[in-house]
Amino acid sequence: METAKFTSAKKSRSALLAQLTKINNELERQMVSTENAEKVKHLYKNLCDRYEQFKNAHFHCLELCDDPSIIELLETNYSSQQKNLTEFNEHYSEWQKQSLQSGQDDNISTISRTGTARSSRAQLQNAKAKRLIAEHKLRTLKVKQKIEQEQRELENKRQLLEQESELEEARIEESVWQEDIECPDNNGGRNCPEVARDVSVSVSGQDSAETVISHDESNDKLEDLTSTNIDTAFYRLAFTLQEGFNVPKPELLTFNGRVTDYCKFIKNFETNVEEKISDSRLRLSYLIQYCVGEAKSCIEDCVLLDPDDGYRRARKNLQTRYDYDDFDGVWIGLNDIAKEGEFVWSNGGSVLFDKPVNYNTVDADCVYFYNYGLGYSISNNWYAAYCNGPTFNYVYERGLAAK
C-alpha cells in the first residue's frame, strides 16, 4: 500500500464527508419553514454534488488500501452515509410536497385576499357615491329652504304693505270726513251752542228741578254752564256724524299709460294722496297701486331705492313718459320702429346726414322737432318721443316745383 497517496486520498475523503455533514445540518435547519424553498433547493443541489465527490474519493481510497480492516471500516462508513442520504431524500420529497401544498394555500389565500380587496373597493365606491348623493340632496334642500324663506319674507312684506296701505286709506278717508263735517261759520257755528243750550235747559229742568231750586244763584249759573258745554259737545258730534254721511267719498283715479289721462290722474293723486301723506314710502306704494299696465311697469322697480329717491324717481319716470304739456313738437316723419337706433323716413328712405337725436328710453321711436320746452339747445333740437302720445303737429313732404 502506498502510504502517502492513501493518506492524501483519505484526507480528501474526510474533508468531503465533513462538508456533507455541514450541508446536511444546514438543510435540516432551513427545512423547518416552507418559506425557504429556494435556498433549500440550492443547498440540496450542493449536497448531491458533494456526495458524488465523496463517493469518488471513497472508491479511490479503496483502490489504494490493501488492509482488510481499514477497507471494512471505510465501507461501513460509506454505507452509513448512503443510508443517511436515502433517508434525507425521502424527507426532502415530503418537504417538497408540503411546500407545494403551502404554495397553493398561499395562492388561494392571495386570491381570497384579492377578492376581498376588490369587494372592499366596490363597497367603498358605493359608500362614496351614497355620500356624494347625500351631499347633493343636502345642498338642494338648503337652497330650497332659503328660497322658501325668502318667499315667506316677501309674502310677509306684501301683507304688511297692504295692511299699511289700508290703514293709510282709512286715515285719508278720516281726514276727508273731518274736513267736511266741521260746523260752518255762517249759521251752524253760531246756532249750534244755542240749540244745545235750549235742549240742555229743557232736560235739566225736567230731571233736576228740585236740585236747581235748592242751590243759590251762583251755583245755578255754574251748573247751567257745565251742563250746556256737555250738551253742546254731544250736539256737535251728532251734527258731524249726520253731515258726514251725506258727503260723497272722494274718487281715486287709476292710470293705465294713456297720455291724455296723465294730467287728470296726477292732479287727482296730488290732491287726495300726496297732500295728505308725508311718508314717501306710502306715497310710492299708492302711486304703484293706482297705476296699471305699462305705467305700473315703469315705476314698480323704484321700491328698491330709498323711499324718498324712489318716489321722486317714479314721479320723474311718469312725467318723462306721459307728460307732454310742455312739449311743443312737430313730427318730421323720422322713426326707428323697425330697428332700434336706425332711423328712417316714413317712406322708408335712409337718413343721408348725421344729426344727433336726443332720447332717454328705447321705447321712444318717433322723432320730433321741438322748440325750447324740453330744455335742449337750439343747435340740437331733434327729440325722440313715444309714437302713441298725444296728437302732435306734423310736416309733410312736397316735391320741388319745376323751373
Mean pLDDT of the chain: 76
Predicted confidence at residue 16, as pLDDT, reads 87
In a domain, 126, yes or no: no
396 pLDDT band, cuts 50/70/90, is low
In a domain, 165, yes or no: no
Band of pLDDT at residue 402, cut at 50, 70 and 90: low
Q: Which of 73, 97, 120 is the last residue of a domain?
A: 120
Length of the chain: 403
Q: What is the pLDDT of residue 337?
A: 84
Domain-ending residue, one of 278, 304, 322: 322
Is residue 253 included in any domain, yes or no?
Answer: no
User: Where is pLDDT greater, at 36 or 312?
Assistant: 312
The C-alpha angle 259, 265, 270, rounded to 5 degrees, equals 135
Answer yes or no: do 304 and 351 share one domain.
no
Q: What is the pLDDT of residues 133-179, one digit of tens each?
A: 999 999 999 999 999 999 999 999 999 999 998 898 888 888 878 76
Report yes or no on 149 lying in a domain. Answer: no
Pair (221, 277) in one structural domain = no
Task: Give the residue-averaged pLDDT of 217-237.
Answer: 59
**Cβ(203)–Cβ(232) below 8 Å:** no
Q: Identify whether the C-beta of residue 299 lies closer than 8 Å to the C-beta of residue 322.
A: no
**pLDDT reported for residue 173:** 82
For residues 331 and 318, membership in a common domain is answered with: no
pLDDT for 111 equals: 63
Write the CB contacts of 355 (distance below 8 Å, at least 6 apart in sequence). 382
Residue 156 lies in a domain: no
Residue 272 has pLDDT above 70, yes or no: yes
Regarding whether 219 and 111 lie in a shared domain, the answer is: no
Q: Which residue has the higher pLDDT, 143 or 324?
A: 143
Give a yes or no: residue 154 inside a domain. Answer: no
Taking each helix axis as running N to C, give the angle between helix 37-64 and helix 68-180, from 0 to 180 degrees, rounded to the nearest 10. 170
Judged against a pLDDT cut of 60, whether residue 184 lies above it is answered with no
Task: Tell me: do 95 and 56 sit in the same domain.
Answer: yes
Q: Are residues 57 and 72 in the same domain?
A: yes
Domain of 308? 259-322
Q: Residue 117's pLDDT is what?
A: 74
Number of domains the chain contains: 4
Contacts of 39 (CB under 8 A, 6+ apart): 30
Provide mean pLDDT across the span 349-361.
68
Q: How far apart are CA 85 and CA 79, in angstroms?
A: 10
User: In 3-state terms, what secondary structure has residue 394?
Assistant: strand
Query: Average pLDDT in the 91-117 region?
Result: 72
Pair (303, 291) in one structural domain: yes
Q: What is the mean pLDDT of residues 281-297?
A: 92
**pLDDT (average), residues 120-140:** 89
Domain co-membership, 351 together with 386? yes
Neighbours of 237 (CB within 10 A): 11
Asked whether residue 390 carries a pLDDT value surpassing 70, the answer given is no
Please indicate, yes or no, whether residues 32 and 114 belong to a single structural domain of this protein. yes
pLDDT at residue 391 is higher than 80? no
